[in-house]
Structure 1
Amino acid sequence: MTKQHASPPASGANSRRANAPLGFTTRAIHHAYDPSDHHGAVAPPVYFTSTYAFDSVAENEAAAAQGGMLYAREYNPTTAILEARLANLEGAEAGLALATGMAAIGTLMLGLLSQGDEVVVHRTLYTNTMALTETGLPRFGIKVVPVDLADPSNLDAAATDRTRLVYFETPVNPLSDVLDIAAIAARANARGIQVAVDSTFASPALQRPIEHGADIVVHSLTKYISGHGDVLGGAVMGRKATIARLHSHGIRYLTGATMSPMAAALILRGLKTLPLRMERHGHNALAIATMLQGHPAVRWVSYPQLPSHPGHAIARRQMSAGSGMLAFGLHTGFDGARRLMDRLSLFGRAVSLGDAESLIMHPASLNRARRSIHPEAHLADGVGEDLIRLSAGLEDAADLLDDLFQGLDGL
């Protein structure tokens, strides 16, 4: 479905506005849903069904031939609304919603890459994406080439005639570094290589990679798009042919990582307030980053909207504003990071991000704990043992600053 509410008739000075495209916030609330198609329900219904019945064998056969509504692993009306809405907001032709962010990344990689193919990735990736690229994909004969894409020219030496995909995050987890989407995409596309960008740290409210030349956008919907820390989800958006391949291969038999209809409904609900939430996240993060930058206990701060950030100019060019994500380190390093976190009362010590609640984590502490079970565990390139990742929530900025001030006192 692609119906939207019709605009009232207009004339004179208002006629141009009536014919103008709907704004981002309006589409985040209305796109791909018409209550009149669902008995007038203002909120999209949640379709709980594992399969679909047909009035005749012929209709059943037609649906099967067209890859249509047969089984809930491959299609659900609630999820279809979410997919259409996300694709619209990203400026993509189509979208695919999946059970988790890692399901989205895994389906993307396994759906597009085959034995003998190569994928170029940025040297710093989310921990579990790094596990997939370091140990998962090589098991299937897919070569992974890590490169520092902060310098887009490094792609020239890394790409070969077997390279099928360039994959990176921006802003980068957990460093909050910024990569130049347009510059990387221009070099990759000139060689016929697709570019996939994990834009989770920004959300489509702040950054739309396809507008800068990327072919595919990936999100962990668990984070900003849902925004309430109560559901898991992932999504891939891109061209219709790409999404059709991921749907027919990935969801049908490669991963089967189907999103539940209840999760889709919760994410649709969160999506309606995404622009408002991102404005508050960014406001709070900038206040925190500015305070930290001037605090004597703090050695460094990484927040793209600070003029001191190395990627500030790129961020201003490809992002409309800052998100709630920042990283910083203390002069007291690893031990100081642990002491600070234990002193905080408003910040949840948790590994996710993008929630209404402010969250904070220390990757090095978690990595040391993981090594007791997985000796091969290590921090991503560029992530030091002093790094603290902070996700600014929606609380009053003054309260967050007061909590950080008392936590930093004497460190």
Structure 2
Amino acid sequence: MDKAVKPLFEQNPLVYPIVASSTFRLKSAEEGHQLSEGQPGYLYSRWSNPTVDSAAESIRQMEGAEGTLLLPSGMAAISTSIICLLKAGDHIVAPQPVYGGTHQALKTTFSKWGLEYTFVDGSSVEEFEKAIKENTKVLLGETPANPTMSILDLEAFGKLGSKRGLLTMVDSTFAGPYIQQPIKYGIDVVIHSCTKYIGGHSDLTAGALSFKSRKIYNQVYHEAKVLGFLALSPFDAFLIHRGMKTLGIRMERHSSNAMAIAEFLQSHPKVLKVHYSGLPSHPHYETAKKQMKHFGGMVSFEVTGGKEGGRKVVEGTKIFTLAVSLGGVESLIEHPATMTHTDTVMSREDKEASRITDNLIRLSVGLEDVDDLKADLESALDRV
């Protein structure tokens, strides 16, 4: 099915409108039949909606994809890709560290349905290859990784999938499609939580799947349509479309602010280690420089004082807001070990394997004045 956006409005509005209709008028029963059979057009908003398609098209173009689907959340995008591309008895190789929801879904829900998984060092293509079995169908990567900012070499990852005849999927949420386009490195499926940088204003929840091939896109589209996974609100799609218009300029400011914060933290006596791929000291700096236009707005660091030191810092800021999520214009701070990667999400052993320490702090660096952000962190670090 060709889901290119069709003009619906004679007035040609500058901003594509919110089409809130759940269903669409038909000229004839035959038209309804043709639309039901997959002819381009609009029949029912659970299948496709003009505002949603318009937003999806803006992401598709930036990703360089053959097709993009929008879902109600980033986690819905991850789950949809797994449900529609894998079956019971298949095996997936997944990264550590990884978004907490992905980790939990693989261990608790998808394993219950008969899906096998193996976690490996998410920055090592060699470890991915070692974990491949006869029933492996998907290699799942995440770069930059949540919350340690490790980097996966997309070119080597794409080549591995091609060599072994396996689907490659990459969660690119921390970079966003302006900074990084995994498809040009051979990745089959790109995952985004549009809640983050794509939306950019902490006022929507959505996810996106972009596909290198039309064949995979069609497979996921038709199965997701049957299951009802494509019912993103056109109101949220409108906000996605709005966010895409400023994504580039926002990501440049996020990145420059984050670089300044990372350099500031690196020189602070109460900071033990800074995780930011834009620093030459980062172990994957050269890889990041090769595949990322900028280094993004996410920074994590380890503070002295252990878990209590981390708590004092995240509770001591005034400009950085203590909250989960990321990618909005405002700066956020959180403590992964007790907030996003808690003991209910992953075991102590999994945390150790993922290098998520009790003194690790994650920052989503926003668009505020960078000197104000530095002063805010300086004040919080004084509490340790």
TM-score normalised according to structure 1 size: 0.88
Q: 2:218 aligns with which of 244, 247, 264?
A: 244
- Cα 1:36–1:54 shift into 2, 3 Å: closer
1:223 aligns with 2:196: yes
Between the aligned partners of 1:66 and 1:233, the Cα distance in structure 2 is 25
| 2:21 aligned partner | 49
1:39 aligns with 2:11: yes
Deviation at 1:228, TM superposition (A): 0.1
For residues 10-409 of structure 1, the aligned pairs below 5 Å read 37-66=9-38, 69-238=42-211, 239-253=213-227, 256-366=229-339, 374=344, 380=351, 381-409=354-382
| Secondary structure of residue in 2 paired with 1:139 | coil
Between the aligned partners of 1:220 and 1:146, the Cα distance in structure 2 is 21
Q: Is the 8 A contact 1:100 1:232 kept in 2?
A: yes
> Residue by residue, what CA displacement relative to the aligned partner does 1:152-188 show, whole Å, maximum 9, x if unpaired?
1122221123211111110001111111111122112
Between the aligned partners of 1:375 and 1:351, the Cα distance in structure 2 is 15
- Cα 1:334–1:78 shift into 2, 3 Å: same
Letter in 2 for 1:334: K
Letter in 2 for 1:110: I
> Residue by residue, what CA displacement relative to the aligned partner does 1:313-364 show, whole Å, maximum 9, x if unpaired?
0000000111110110112121011111221100110111001100000012
- Cα 1:309–1:232 shift into 2, 3 Å: same
Between the aligned partners of 2:167 and 2:5, the Cα distance in structure 1 is 31
Q: Is the 8 A contact 1:33 1:44 kept in 2?
A: no
Between the aligned partners of 1:154 and 1:376, the Cα distance in structure 2 is 21
| Secondary structure of residue in 2 paired with 1:286 | helix
Deviation at 1:34, TM superposition (A): 8.8
In structure 1, runs of 5+ residues without a counterpart are 3-31
Q: Is the 8 A contact 2:324 2:339 kept in 1?
A: no
- Cα 1:76–1:34 shift into 2, 3 Å: closer
Letter in 1 for 2:294: A
Between the aligned partners of 1:105 and 1:241, the Cα distance in structure 2 is 19
Q: Is the 8 A contact 1:98 1:233 kept in 2?
A: yes
Q: Report the count of equivalent residues.
A: 379
Letter in 1 for 2:58: R
- Cα 1:67–1:164 shift into 2, 3 Å: farther
| Secondary structure of residue in 2 paired with 1:47 | coil
Q: Is the 8 A contact 1:324 1:393 kept in 2?
A: yes
Between the aligned partners of 1:354 and 1:375, the Cα distance in structure 2 is 22
Residue identity over aligned pairs, in percent, reads 37
Deviation at 1:74, TM superposition (A): 1.1
In structure 2, runs of 5+ residues without a counterpart are none
| Secondary structure of residue in 2 paired with 1:166 | strand
> Residue by residue, what CA displacement relative to the aligned partner does 1:268-301 show, whole Å, maximum 9, x if unpaired?
0011000000010001100100000000000000
Letter in 2 for 1:46: I
| Secondary structure of residue in 1 paired with 2:359 | coil
| Secondary structure of residue in 2 paired with 1:114 | coil
Deviation at 1:148, TM superposition (A): 1.5
